Each structure stands twice: as C-alpha cells, then as structure tokens.
Chains A and B, each alone.
Chain A
Amino acid sequence: MPPTTASKKSISNEQWEAKLAAVKVAKEDMNKLVMNFLVTEGYVDAARTFEQESGTAPGVQLGGITDRMQVRQAVQSGQVEAAIDKVNDMNPEILEEQAALFFHLQQQRLIELIRQGQTEAALAFAQEYLAPQCEDDEALLEELERTVSLLAFEQPATSPVGGLMDVAQRQKTASELNAAILASQGQEKEPRLLLLLKMMLWAQGQLDEKASYPRLTDLATARLSLVGS
C-alpha cells in the first residue's frame, strides 16, 4: 500500500460513485469487447449465439476459429502430427517461416514418443528431424539436448528435466501455435478485454500515489473496496 502523504487527495465513496455514474459507455462497445473475447479465445458456439442474440458481428470467419481450436486441442492432447497437418492446411507459411515454432512442435512430438516409452523411435526421430535444424542455432540445440536427456532417466517425469513431460509443456506449445495462427490471420493475440484490464490496473496504481479512493481489488467481481472499510 502506498504511504499516505499529506498531499494525497481523499475521495469519498459517494463522490466516487457519482463520478462513476457520470461516465457513459456504449452498449455496442461492450458487445464488441465480449465478441472479441469469445472469438480470440476460440469459443465458436458462444460467439455464434452471441451474434444472433446481440447482433454483433464476429469480425472474423467463425469457421477459421473452429480450425484454430481444433489445432489447439490436438496439441493439448498430444496429437502433434494432426495439429501440424491442420495448420499446414490452414496456412503453410506459418511453419515455413517460423523456425522456432516448427522446432517446438517437433520437440513436442519427441516428448510424446518418449512418453509412450518408444525410446528407439524417439532417438531416431531426434536424429532425423530435430538435429539438422539445430546445426545453425545454439539455443535450439540446447533445448534439444535437454529433451533428449529425458531418455537417460528411468522415470523421465521425475527427472530434473521432467517439466517437459508436463501437460503445461503441451499448453505452452499449443499457445505458441495459437498465437502464430492468430498473427497470420492479422488478429491480435490477446483479447482486448485483457488489455483494458491491464490499463485499468495501471491507472489505479498511478492514482494510488495521488489519492485515496474506493479501489477495485477484485477483478472478477469488479467490486469496489470502499474507503474506510
């Protein structure tokens, strides 16, 4: 909590509520924010329903979202080849041009092979598909070494590099791929709602230094913590 200084202005709850009530936000803007959130996060059916109920245009092809969500789910469930196939059908340039992303997808395939206990296959795969790509890139080589070292352990999941076997690693790869697809479609990676919330938190931080006022401490409920409580 910032220290209270003499110069800090004090705003009462009533004043704050009055100021809030005076600010006008258009319903269309809110609708657009909701739609943008649904679309970016990939909730296709919800987006369609929302479109029908509110009359807000999705702004993007909902069919494209379905594809993107299928790709994401494929990676998250460990079916990386299917994801690669699908993203290549959506836009082959994504994997052509993003070497690091391509590497991470191949790396995930390797992890899945290791997870299935297919040690020999994993080694052969690493040798044929991953090693050549690391020739020019030291950072990728390091990652490859870490991944291959999983094979040295009886129980890869509990090894020092066991984090690679986590579901979180799949999600990381899935998010990376998802962001790349969004970017290739000319869309932003994050919903605008997130940006707004970040800005609001920042603005509150700025105001904290200058005044005491009812603050928003719970983003989920948007409840104000009243002054003096």
Chain B
Amino acid sequence: MAMVARNGNGPSCQQLEEGLKSSDSSTRLQAVRELKNTVIGNRFKKQQFTGLVPALLELLTSSSDADLLVQAVAALGSLAYGVDDGVRAIVACNGVAGIVGVLCSSNERVVAAAARSLKLLYQSPLAPRDALLQQPVLLRLVSLLQQPQHDSVAEAAASVLGHCCTSASQASSIAAAGAVPALVQLLSSQRRSCQESAVEAAQQETARQLLPACLSVLPRLVRLLAAADAAAAGAGVSHAATPAAAAAAAGSPAYRALLGLAGEAGDSRYLQQVPLLLALLMDGRPELLQLAMDLDAIKLLVKLLSSKAAAAAAAATTSQPDATAAAAKAASSSKPAGTAAAKARAAAAAAAAAAAAAAADAGASEVAAAGAACNLLLGFSSVRQPLIKAGALPALSSLTASMLPELRLYAAWALKNASHEAEPEVQQQLLQEMSWQDFRGLLVGDHDVRVQEQAVGLLQNLCKGAAGVEQLTAWSGNELLPLLEEQLEPALYSSLAAAAAGDGSSSSSSSGAAADQQQQQQQHLKARLDLCERLQTALEQLGVK
C-alpha cells in the first residue's frame, strides 16, 4: 500500500505535492493518507513536509469528500504538533479559519478529526487565541463540549478552550458562551484525560461558576491532584529543582505544573486551578469538607502549599490566597480524626500561615489562616510542634503588625496559645520573633480591646513559663515593670496576680529543675508585684492616680 515498501525510501515532498494536487480523487486521497501516516509521530518528517501546508489547506477548503477531509485535517494537525514552523505555516495561510470551517461539518468523523487537530495546534503558544473566541466559532466549540457519546471530541474542545483561556476577559467570554455546565459534566467523566482538559478550561470566572457542582466532582479533583502528586513523587525531582532540570525530568503536563515553573505559559494553570476549584467547592459546605478530609485532600493541598511556599519564585496569582484559605478553612473547621489527620491539618495551617504571611495583600486568607493556627495551637499538643517547626511563630508575629484588627487578634491569640505551657525553646523563639516594641504596641497601643486582652494573656503565659522574669525584663529593655506600673488597671493587675500566683499544674510535664526555676521566678514576680503594689499605694498616697 505505501510507497515505502517498494524501494525503502519514503515519498519525497515533491511526489506528495503532486499527489495532493492530482485531478484524480483516489490519487489525492492516497497522497494525503500517506502524508498523514508519515508525519504522525515523526518529528523529522514533519519538518521535511511543512511546505505542504498550503496544498493541504487548499484541499480543506475545496473538497467535500469526507474521507479526504478527515485525512487532510489530521495531517495538518500533526504538522503543527511540536513543530513551530508548522504552526507558523498554518497561521500564515489563515489555516485556522480553514480548520474551523471543517469543524462545522455535518459529518461526525470530520468534526472529530478537526477537533483533534485544533487540540494539537493549540498546544503551541503561537496559535492565535482570539480567533477561536469569536462568536460562531466559540459557540461551536462549546456545543462540542456537550457530546456524551464522543468523549474524545468533548475532551479536544475542552483542551482547546483551555488553551484560549489565558486572560480574565477570555475566560468570561467562554463562560458567557455557556461552557460551564458542560465542563462540570466533563469533570465527572470517567476518563482522566477529559477531567484534565476540563480543569484546564475551568479558569477564573468559569471556575467560580462551578460552585453548584455536584459532590461527584470533588473526588475527581482530588484524584487529579493525587495523580499529579504521584507523578511528581515518582519522578523523584525535588521541588526546589531548577526549572531546567525539572523540565528535563518532567513527564505529564500536570507534573510540570506542579513544579510551578514560573514564566512557562500554561504550566502553572493546572496547579492553580485544582486547588482553586477544591476551595470553591469546599467553601462553607461541611459535607464536602468531610469528603475532602476522607480523601486526603488536605494532605495533598498541604504538599502543594508547602511546595509553593518554598518555591518563592512561583508565579503569585490571585488564586493562591484562595487555595490557602481553603486549606486553612478545612484545617480549622474539620473535626479531629486521628493523629495523621491532625498532623496534616497542622501542616496545612503552618503552610497556610507561612504562605499567608508571604502573600502581598492582607485578606480573608490570612485571617482564616491565623484563625486556623489559633485553633491548632490550642489543645492538640501533638500538632503544635509541627506547626511551630514549620515557622508559625515568625509568621504570626509579623501578622501582629497588620492593619486588620481581626488579623492582629488571631495572631496574638495564636501566639498566646502557642506560649501556653510551652517548652523553653518555644518561649525563647517567641521572644526572639516578637520585639518588645511590637508587643508593647499590642498591649497598650491597640485600639481593639480584644487584642489587648490576648496580649495580656500572652504576657501571662510568658511569665508563667520557663523564661525567667529577668529574661522578660531584659527583652523589654527594662521597660516591663514601668509599663506594668503605668498600666495597673484592675483587670491587668488581677491577671498579673494570677500569673504570679501561678498554678503549679502547668509544670506537670516539665523536669524538676525547670519546676524549681519556675518557682523561683514566681517568687521573683511576686516580689516585684509587691513592689508594684507598694509603689501604687505610694503613688495614691501622693495623690497621683
């Protein structure tokens, strides 16, 4: 059948061109078929035959023979795949219009072939995006999304739309054309390739419209996330690898996206989209949250967040805070379900806190993150350590200087919880991270009384703790006592008295030496308080309030 068998040499460009332009229809068909089979999968042959693009396009526009059209459009798509010159040749001859014309054919096979070709063509950034977002074409593509029997066509359409969706306005055009319900359908599909295409297409505005999606969508998304994660783990390349090395090792697009290679158009889309979609779906819906927990989604999100937080060069997008908020929300609102889950939540909150602190603008995400950290630093001591190790303290300390009162509140609260019965190292770290000036600002200068309360509680814990009062005094640059004297309001005083009295129960887990030290400190503090009292009495006596 093929010319190859005869003498081993393949057909030359000239021979094929002659065949394409022959007046005999069966010769034409034979030539196109041959061309198609020669170039698919063969990079060198594609380059060799790029010059045949005009002839192929000519066939597309002039012929109505279904078989010929199928072969011709397939050949075109293949010539464009992975070969820039091929794409350029097609664009130069206004080839997109030609292929789109065929896309509107009434013949199913022709449409399928055209859709696939577009999919291959649009993997290249050189293909013109806006051409596909014009009304009749866009509507056609969207209608192709809704092909339940023809998964591959729907998938190809989703992939093409995904590649055209690089800006908010493009995304809204696509959403406006009614793509979203069909994308939801695709997401629920059995085939992973369909799901991946749907995820690529579901960006920005379209993503928000996915909210009413059914429960079935969430497990798919998690599985996609897990698959991408497994691909990343399997390739054994660390997240901190240089883009070049990572690109060399990269397999699936999902893996490349997972590394968040900044600057490569389209690669981080996948990474951004899945967490965003998950976030949107989990937002405020406890049954979905629980489902996500059961599916280990949190663990995966955490990994994602840690890798993003670690890779400082990763493209910062508006979707990142949402993903953070998702993890944070999930972390703070889900019930404890075993240490593994707790650890995952801790790590989630830690990563969230770290990422939130790193994020440029304060918003709901940091508040949620701080709130989550707050809860997790509380009673679950097994979870506190990982959290602190992950750098929660510096993150929280910096948040205490935020403009948002909620953020300061939660940050202070979280620090208070962290310092409660904390190990000496933790207390040390706390004192290191937090400057006296900042703390003083919280304690006395904050307009929000709630923040002040938390600050007092923090001080209380610090006093109770293993850090000596001398150390506290040193930390404050000797300002601690004078400040306390200044601020001897009844509420403050009683809490200090409580601190001084100090219940020995807090030292139940500490060593004997620490307990001794604690007792000493308490004696010190008691002494100082006595002094304060005496000072106050003295001041009163002097008629000064």
Contacts and interface: CB of A to CB of B under 8 A. Distances in A.
B36 A128 contact: no
Question: Taking chain A's interface residues, is the majority helix, strand, or loop, or is none over half, making it mixed?
Answer: helix
Nearest to B116: A92
Nearest to A105: B41
Interface string A35-75: 00000000000000000000000000100000000000000
Give the interface centre of A89, A95, A118 by most chain B CB atoms within 10 Å: A89
B33 A186 contact: no
Nearest to A112: B5
Contacts of A121: 5-8
Given A82-B1, A85-B33, A133-B42, A92 B78 contact: yes
B4 A92 contact: no
Interface string B56-88: 000000000000001000100110011000000
B447 interface: no
A128 B45 CA distance: 9
Nearest to A118: B8
Contact of A102 (B36, B41, B44): B41
A118 B8 CA distance: 9
Given A81-B1, A85-B33, A92 B8 contact: no
A128 B8 contact: yes
Interface string A94-111: 011011001000000100
A132 B10 CA distance: 14
B193 interface: yes
A16 interface: no
Contacts of B116: 91-93
Contacts of B152: 91
A: interface residue count bin = 20 to 34
A12 B152 CA distance: 54
Contacts of B37: 81, 84-85, 88
B7 A129 contact: no
B78 A96 contact: yes
A88 B42 CA distance: 13
B42 A129 contact: yes
B41 A96 contact: yes
Contacts of A118: 5, 8
A82 B5 CA distance: 12
Contact of A124 (B8, B41, B78): B8
Give the interface centre of A99, A109, A186 by most chain B CB atoms within 10 Å: A186
A221 B298 CA distance: 47
B70 A89 contact: yes
Nearest to A132: B44
A175 B431 CA distance: 66
8 contacts: A88-B74, A91-B116, A93-B116, A95-B41, A96-B78, A118-B8, A120-B8, A128-B8
Interface of A: 61, 81-82, 84-85, 88-89, 91-93, 95-96, 98-99, 102, 109, 113, 118, 120-125, 128-129, 132-133, 184-186
Given A96-B41, A109-B4, A184-B193, 9 more contacts: A89-B74, A96-B120, A113-B5, A113-B8, A125-B4, A129-B4, A132-B43, A133-B42, A186-B193
Which 5 A-B pairs rank lowest in CB-CB distance, beginning with the nearest?
A124-B8, A121-B8, A186-B191, A95-B41, A102-B41
